[in-house]
Chains A and B, each alone.
Chain A
Amino acid sequence: MTTTQQAPFVPTPRAEGPLLEVRDLHVEFHTRDGVIRAVNGVNYSVSAGETLAVLGESGSGKSVTAQAIMGILDMPPAKIPQGEILFQGQDMLKMSAEERRGLRGAKIAMIFQDALSSLNPVLTVGYQLGEMFRVHQGLGKKEAKAKAIELMDRVKIPAAAARVNDFPHQFSGGMRQRIMIAMALALEPDLIIADEPTTALDVTVQAQVMDLLAELQREYNMGLILITHDLGVVADVADKIAVMYAGRIVEQAPVHELYKRPAHPYTRGLLDSIPRLDQKGQELFAIQGLPPNLLKVPTGCAFNPRCPMAQDICRTDLPALVEVSEQDGGVLPGRRSACHFWKETIHG
């Protein structure tokens, strides 16, 4: 099922450096109970053609960071007191609302987790896909519909021309997620942010959708930020990983390195606590305790109450995200850990 009838993609010239760079981003929510610091100084970058996976549990700030990049946070209650989000070298936080709207969809697109609630149930999928072209490119109804069919073909929806007038509820979960992908691809963006794109899908369909996403990414040379909690999905597609905990990045590493030698006790705990398909273990390793309440984040390292390695220093001093090196001092490119005892964790 290869699609060959599509128009060739012409890459847009890009500025030097990474496609997207998030620098020291902070996001706060002002609530009745106090200030929730959901994102606390996050730094990451994605280049064209690269896949960055942001891994974390609920409440880790992974989705809020993505929403800040897209500029779809509700402000208030959210507030960005500090930080920069550079897209092709320009700080999006300093742009006007109009300028940002021009980027959304055209340059940066987002795929949401729940396709059924992200699509409008009373409009046909063809209309919703065509809307991208009518609004952004000023195409007429007929042309927009033709483009919609082309897109549906592109994401391998069978009998696209016959199904263009169907409503979202007439599609299965996997097909709906394909429509979401098609919508994100419509204007050939440079960067796609996928927030748990396959969490609601069955494993067989999940594999189909991830394959499709990876294939399209290669074809269009897009940057991809994949937000997920599933270490399995990440291992299959990511180039590099940022692990988040309580609003901070606790570890960054190229994908192979992270799985082989985690440099943060939280990452190691996560890896140890997933049951494996190819072996039947005894008792599962479980990280003790619960993810922190963001209103009362523990002092020092936020992970210290759950950490088997915690010492006094972890309860008082916040560990910085530092570069990780080999035992003999050799550099490990792209690796960082925010743990006072990263040496013991990675080499011990």
Chain B
Amino acid sequence: MADIDKGEAVDATPDAAAASLEKPLERGEPILQVRNLKKHFPLTQGVLFKRQIGAVKAVDGISFDLYQGETLGIVGESGCGKSTVAKLLMNLEQATEGEVFYKGQDITKVSGRAMKAVRRNIQMVFQDPYTSLNPRMTVGDIIAEPFDIHPEAAPKGDRRRKVQELLDVVGLNPEYINRYPHQFSGGQRQRIGIARGLALNPEIIICDEPVSALDVSVQAQVINLMEKLQDEFNLSYIFIAHDLSIVRHISDRVGVMYLGKMAEIGTDTQIYDHPTHPYTQALLSAVPVPDPESREGRERIILTGDVPSPANPPSGCRFRTRCWKAQDKCAEEVPVLAVPERFKSSDSPAAHESACHFAEEKNVVHTG
């Protein structure tokens, strides 16, 4: 795999934008910076004279950094906007507002050739390995398809060998190159999806629920593979999932989203062992733990009701309608995502960014 190493792209005419992507990152500089990112989907009424009557605020101002070689987990319930974030980072959806800086370049503003160069470095692995692979293409063609768009990544005569290498890297038999997706199991298909994501040798891979469609015994195999590949190629992952246990396992840092906003973000220990946002606490306490002994000892916070509609989110704090701590202040003032005042001067792991007026540490994962 030595020859799929970074920085040896044979780009004959690199323009200025593409050139800036080739420069190595300085130490400690984030590879991806997301600032106040918003995506509002317009709601219209009328057939002939369409007028906008509102907007679904799927993502409503989120900011985070991603560093090289790290995994940022994003968790949240369905409808919280986590998949829209993934699409925005790939520029598959046009952002309504805000910036996504990849190595200092705002990718929400670029298009054409510059965008193509960016996409080469940011790839995606999709949730459903059954629908994300074209059933009429062989595995070899599926994995080689990125090379049709970026021919500089692999010379024509060399592609077959490269695809076989990729199959080998993800733990599939290279002889399977002429098989079709239906001849593989779910876990194997997800490996094919990962091989396709790796084909262009990206720096960032965005994984949208990559293992949720797989059987338990196969999930662990795929997670282990992803961790191995991360070490091998120094990849940065954005790992989007609703399964909090898996996110903890793979992530260095975790962001918790609720209704288009980031509720809390921090390292895995900060979020899982010292959560300060009530939503994170409720989410963690609701996870069924595979240990019947702990069912007595654990405190479970059962939220009432459903997630409100993102077209008409509650005023102030969006979580207040389901929150047991909510007071008048929560309806009036939007809490900002920052280290809570009371923890600011302490070294405690509770001192991480949390968007709650009444942030308070509460251990919900450990018992006894």
Residue numbers in A under 8 Å from B288 (CB-CB): 203, 206-207, 210, 230, 232-233, 235-236
How close is B210's CB to chain A, nearest CB, in angstroms?
A: 14
Residue A169 CB within 8 A of the other chain: no
Binary contact readout A118-148 vs B (1 if CB under 8 angstroms, 0 otherwise): 0000000000000000000000000000000
Residue of B216, B242, B272 most packed against chain A (CB within 10 A)? B216
A259 and B293: CB pair below 8 A?
yes
B contact residues, range: 35 or more
State whether A275 touches B248 (Cβ < 8 A). Answer: yes
Tell me if B45 counts as interface (CB < 8 A to partner A).
no
Q: Is A247 close to B, CB under 8 A?
A: no
Q: Is B70 an interface residue (CB 8 A)?
A: no
A31 CB–B CB distance under 8 Å: no
Whether a CB of chain B sits under 8 angstroms from the CB of A194 is: no
Asked if B302 and A208 make an inter-chain contact with CB atoms under 8 angstroms apart, the answer reads: yes
Q: Is A283 part of the contact surface with B, judged by Cβ < 8 Å?
A: yes
Given the complex, which residues of B lie within 8 Å of A291, measured CB to CB? 185, 215, 217-218
Q: Is there contact, CB below 8 Å, between B302 and A259?
A: no
Question: Are the C-beta atoms of A175 and B306 separated by less than 8 Å?
Answer: yes
Tell me if A231 and B219 are in contact (CB < 8 A). Answer: no
| A216 adjacent to chain B (CB < 8 Å) | no
Q: Which parts of A163-199 form the interface with B (CB within 8 Å)?
A: 172-175
Q: Specify which chain B residues have a CB less than 8 angstroms from the CB of A235 in the assembled complex.
A: 288-292, 295
Contacts of B302 in A (CB 8 A): 204, 207-208, 211
- Let me know if A278 is at the binding interface, CB within 8 A: yes
- Rounded to whole angstroms, the CA-CA distance of A271 and B218 in the bound complex is 13
Residues of A within 8 A of B366 (CB): 278
A45 vs B245: C-alpha distance in the bound complex, in angstroms?
32
**With A208-B302, A276-B245 as contacts: A232 and B290 at CB distance below 8 Å:** yes
CB distance from A52 to the nearest CB of B (A): 14
**B306 adjacent to A284 (CB under 8 Å):** no
Hey, what's the 0/1 contact readout for A234-260 against B, CB within 8 Å counting as 1? 111000000000000000000110011
Bound Cα distance A329, B269 (Å): 44
Closest-by-CB residue of B relative to A198 is B288
Nearest Cβ on chain B to A272's Cβ, whole angstroms: 8
**A83 interface residue (CB < 8 Å to B):** no
One of A158, A174, A210, A277 near B244 (C-beta < 8 A): A277
Contacts of A290 in B (CB 8 A): 185, 187-188, 218
Q: Are A231 and B218 in contact (CB under 8 A)?
A: no
In the complex, the answer to whether A284 meets B220 with C-beta atoms within 8 Å is: yes
Among A158, A270, A271, A275, find the residue whose CB has the most chain B CB atoms closer than 10 A: A275
B residues 284-320 touching A (CB-CB < 8 Å): 284, 286-293, 295, 300, 302-307
A160 lies within 8 A of chain B by Cβ: no
B361 contacts the other chain (CB 8 A) = no
The verdict on A229 contacting chain B, using a C-beta distance below 8 Å, is yes
User: A203, A229, A230 — which one has the most chain B CB atoms within 10 A of its CB?
Assistant: A203
**Residue B365 lies at the interface, judged by CB distance under 8 Å to chain A:** yes
A176 to chain B, nearest CB (A): 11
Residue in contact with B223 in the complex, picked from A174, A269, A276, A284, CB distance below 8 Å: A284
Interface size, A (range): 35 or more
With A232-B287, A274-B216, A286-B217 given, is the CB distance from A203 to B223 under 8 Å?
no
A317 in the interface, Cβ–Cβ < 8 Å? Answer: no
Q: Given the known inter-chain contacts A256-B292, A291-B185, please indicate yes or no for A275 contacting B217, CB distance below 8 A.
A: no
Chain B: which residue is nearest A284 at the CB level?
Answer: B220
CA A277 – CA B365 in complex, angstroms? Answer: 7
Given known contacts A259-B292, A277-B284, is B303 in contact with A229 (CB within 8 Å)? no
Shortest beta-carbon distance from B74 to chain A in Å: 14
Task: Contact check, A255 vs B292: say whether CB atoms are below 8 A apart.
Answer: yes
Contact (Cβ within 8 A) A275 B246: yes
Contact A281 B249 (CB under 8 A): yes
For residue B188, which residues in chain A have a CB less than 8 angstroms away from its CB? 290
What is the distance, in angstroms, from A245's C-beta to the closest C-beta of chain B?
A: 10
Q: Write the nearest CB–CB distance from A295 to chain B, whole angstroms.
A: 13
A103 at the interface (CB under 8 A from B): no
Determine whether A299 belongs to the interface, using a CB cutoff of 8 Å to chain B. Answer: no
Which B residues lie within 8 Å of A260 (CB)? 293
Q: Judging by beta carbons under 8 Å apart, are B248 and A280 in contact?
A: yes
Contacts of B300 in A (CB 8 A): 207
CB distance from A169 to the nearest CB of B (A): 14
Q: Does B209 contact A (CB under 8 A)?
A: no
B97 within 8 A of A: no
- The verdict on B282 contacting chain A, using a C-beta distance below 8 Å, is yes
| Residues of A contacting B216 in the complex (Cβ-Cβ under 8 angstroms) | 57, 229-231, 270, 273-274
Chain A contacts for B20, CB-based, 8 A: none
Given A231-B290, A276-B290, 19 more contacts at CB 8 Å? A57-B216, A58-B215, A172-B307, A173-B78, A174-B306, A206-B288, A207-B286, A210-B288, A235-B291, A260-B293, A275-B220, A277-B284, A278-B272, A278-B289, A278-B365, A284-B249, A286-B217, A287-B217, A291-B217
Chain B positions near chain A (C-beta within 8 angstroms): 77-78, 185-188, 215-221, 223-224, 227, 242, 244-246, 248-249, 268-269, 272, 282-284, 286-293, 295, 300, 302-307, 365-366
Chain A residues in contact with chain B, CB under 8 A? 1, 57-58, 158, 172-175, 202-208, 210-211, 229-236, 255-256, 259-260, 269-271, 273-278, 280-281, 283-288, 290-291
The 5 closest A-B pairs by CB, nearest first: A232-B288, A275-B249, A286-B220, A273-B220, A202-B77
